[in-house]
Structure 1
């Protein structure tokens, strides 16, 4: 079982990002229908719109016990809802991906990423220590000479919950079903902190 903690874009936000991708990258091959994928492995592959997300913490393969533990640890996270704008793009040569990202990373997003990483460690899950770089992967198998977009994205996104996703491989590709969700909430009141045993 492979899992990660992340943010899911709203349907309208996903469609807005897809529309930008089609207009700004006109030579990109269209997403093939499931079961009809005969494209060469090395060809750039657009990520299906349903899979657009922002990873907070990658957990990898975990046991049922670790899954139960991480779920309990995530219950304690209190970060207020936030918004961001996907207004820049980039390319990572290692995983060969082209992505959209925010120029300005909201403080609550940084807090949430840090909190989910801490929760994973408390659940005895080994996670990599690296600078957090939020992004939405748009294209895979990208070569270094991949042409830049004709114009930058400007997709506003609003987040009021985060999720535990499972990475599931199928004959038609990878899917990311949500297995559990948590609401983002401010945790500033003394009463709330007392109820949760944080004082």
Structure 2
């Protein structure tokens, strides 16, 4: 990847206090695989992949135009996805989460960005490259989601580092907008 391109994704950042609790629980479970550092815990809304750096202004305008209510997110299921990604997932995704992901993907498609065609599957990755398949309940980890973020993934000697390039608030509950679920 050159300096003129960036590896980008929109996501919900995990608050530091929840990230600490999640990692403490994960480490007690002795899950296989390479643990995701607490500061990298997030729930991806839309993975953009490698994009030209000059697309940032358009992405930031797009994000600023989205209108979605804040919501409560509870991660309470332990699952394995793909080839060894051990994750937490909501057993009952809030409608506002699905709405935010769909609205974001629709706006990105309108900009001409081709995204992964797989359906949105909300999850927070705990470890990568696990060899066992796990499924079941976990303690409920939750927070009020009041913003979403555009991240850039940077490769460092210590591994991937996710850095915020922009953050946008979600609408406080009690305020309304047409055709947006509360």
Does TM, normalized by the shorter one, top 0.5? yes
For the Cα contact (< 8 Å) 2:78–2:134, is it kept in 1? no
**CA-based RMSD:** 1.9
Number of positions where the alignment pairs a residue of Structure 1 with one of Structure 2: 171
Q: In structure 1, list runs of 5 or more residues that go unmatched.
A: 30-43, 191-199
Deviation per residue, 1:110-157 (Å, 9 max, x gap): 0100111112112221112222111100010111x35667x6221112
The corresponding residue for 2:144 is 158
> Which stretches of structure 1, 4 residues or more, deviate above 4 A after TM superposition?
146-149
Q: 2:18 aligns with which of 13, 18, 25?
A: 13
* Shift in Å, 1:73: 1.3
The corresponding residue for 2:115 is 127
Higher strand share: 2
For the Cα contact (< 8 Å) 2:12–2:148, is it kept in 1? yes
TM-score normalised by L of structure 1: 0.79
Pick which of 80-89 and 117-126 moved more.
117-126
The corresponding residue for 1:67 is 56
Q: In structure 2, list runs of 5 or more residues that go unmatched.
A: 1-5
For the Cα contact (< 8 Å) 1:57–1:117, is it kept in 2? yes
Residue pairs, 1:178-197, within 5 angstroms: 178-185=164-171, 188=176
* Shift in Å, 1:189: 5.4
Equivalents in 2 of 1:104, 1:177: separation in Å? 29
Equivalents in 2 of 1:113, 1:146: separation in Å? 27
Change (3 A) 1:22 1:115: same
